[in-house]
Amino acid sequence: MEQLVGTGVALVTPFKNDFSVDVPALERIVEHCVHGGIDYLVALGTTAESATLSKADKQLVIDVIVRANAGRLPLVLGIGGNNTAAVVEEVSQTDLSDFDAILSVSPYYNRPTQEGIYQHFKAIAQASPKPIVMYNVPARTGSNMLPETTLRLAKDFNNIVAIKEACGDMIQIDEILKDKPEDFMVISGDDFTALPTVLAGGSGVISVLGQGLPTSFSKMIRLGINNDSDEAYQLHHALQPLMQLIFEEGNPAGIKSIFESLGLGSAVVRLPLVEATPRLKSKIADFLKSFDKVYA
């Protein structure tokens, strides 16, 4: 799927001080990404705080992103969970006409075996009218989807087109790249491994930081795809301190602090997450000022 090559971003859900969805802020963030050179947008991923959004909130977020994007960039919709039957039902009942693919996380909390993970994605693949990007994020799910499971699913189902791999382990990522079907895509799910994954043969990234600094981040990935590793690593090393800062107190507290500094949205998050501390906000704001002087 050419639509998913390059830099995708897992959009935040901006909130007002009363914790309701901030529609104008979400519109500004979409515009910021489009004009910054992002290649596609992901709605209702983990970074969107989808776990604390009501059904009405989720529909509002979808409607705002679709309207603000206005057909300019490909769209991916997050639909996942640890109840396979419920995920299948949601996939079957959701209007996916505006979306190019769905992103579905490996089942969390239940800690299924590799066979259980396989059967979970098999059920989704059989129900989905759209291509599926699987999402492996062991730090959040409590289990690691092993390369043999990923490759088995990639070979068995034509509509499973990619893996968003956030294991943080380049050895595991290389195992998938080495044996994957030719048209199966390996997408980094970590900002830290985005460039190494691309240089090893991956298709790009679904980024958190990319929505905050879209121009620089998407340029880094384009350079990587074109095998211009020297200039790409210059940007990677320049951005690396901010990659660390935005995850220091959890996601999306850090990236929302960037949007607060940029005047695009507030830093408000919903419990059980809490807003970034003044100390972290100050460090992020100082970094953005110094970075802007060099890369603006």
Taking residues 92-107, report their average pLDDT: 98
Q: What's the token pair of residue 37?
A: 């050179």
| The pLDDT value given to residue 1 | 87
Handedness of CA 12, 75, 23, 20 (dihedral sign): negative
Do the Cβ atoms of 121 and 87 come closer than 8 Å? no
Taking residues 38-58, report their average pLDDT: 98
| The pLDDT value given to residue 293 | 81
The CATH number of whichever domain residue 166 belongs to comes to: 3.20.20.70
Phi/psi of residue 132, each to 5°?
Answer: -115, 130
**Cβ-Cβ contacts under 8 Å for 189 (sequence gap 6 or more):** 135, 136, 137, 164, 165, 166, 205, 206
Taking residues 162-178, report their average pLDDT: 98
Q: What's the token pair of residue 105?
A: 């996380």
Q: What is the DSSP string of the chain?
A: -GGGSEEEEE----B-TTSSB-HHHHHHHHHHHHHTT--EEEESSGGGTGGG--HHHHHHHHHHHHHHHTTSS-EEEE---S-HHHHHHHHHHS--TT-SEEEEEPPPSS---HHHHHHHHHHHHHH-SS-EEEEE-HHHHSS---HHHHHHHHHH-TTEEEEEE-S--HHHHHHHHHHS-TT-EEEE-STTTHHHHHHTT--EEEESGGGTSHHHHHHHHHHHHTT-HHHHHHHHHHHHHHHHHHTTT-TTHHHHHHHHHHTSS-----TTS-PPPHHHHHHHHHHHHHHHHHH-
Higher pLDDT, 234 or 296: 234
| The pLDDT value given to residue 295 | 81
Taking residues 215-230, report their average pLDDT: 97
Taking residues 258-278, report their average pLDDT: 98
Do the Cβ atoms of 164 and 133 come closer than 8 Å? yes
Residue 269 within a domain: no
Residue 85 within a domain: yes
Q: What's the token pair of residue 249?
A: 């107190």
Residue 281 within a domain: no
pLDDT (tens digit, 9 = 90+) per residue, 128-146? 999 999 999 999 999 999 9
Do the Cβ atoms of 253 and 276 come closer than 8 Å? yes
Percentage of the chain with pLDDT > 70?
100
Residue 262 within a domain: no
pLDDT beyond 90 at 163: yes
Residue 257 within a domain: no
pLDDT beyond 80 at 296: no
Count the domains in the chain. Answer: 1
Across the chain, mean pLDDT equals: 97
Residue 266 within a domain: no
Residue 234 within a domain: no
Q: What's the token pair of residue 15?
A: 């909130």
Classify burial at 55, counting beta carbons within 10 Å of its beta carbon; exposed 0-12, middle 13-18, buried 19 or more. Answer: exposed
* Separation CA 273–CA 282 (nearest Å): 19
Percentage of the chain with pLDDT > 90?
98
pLDDT (tens digit, 9 = 90+) per residue, 253-264? 999 999 999 999
Residue 242 within a domain: no
Structural domain containing residue 10: 2-228
Give catalytic residue positions: 135, 164
Do the Cβ atoms of 42 and 10 come closer than 8 Å? yes
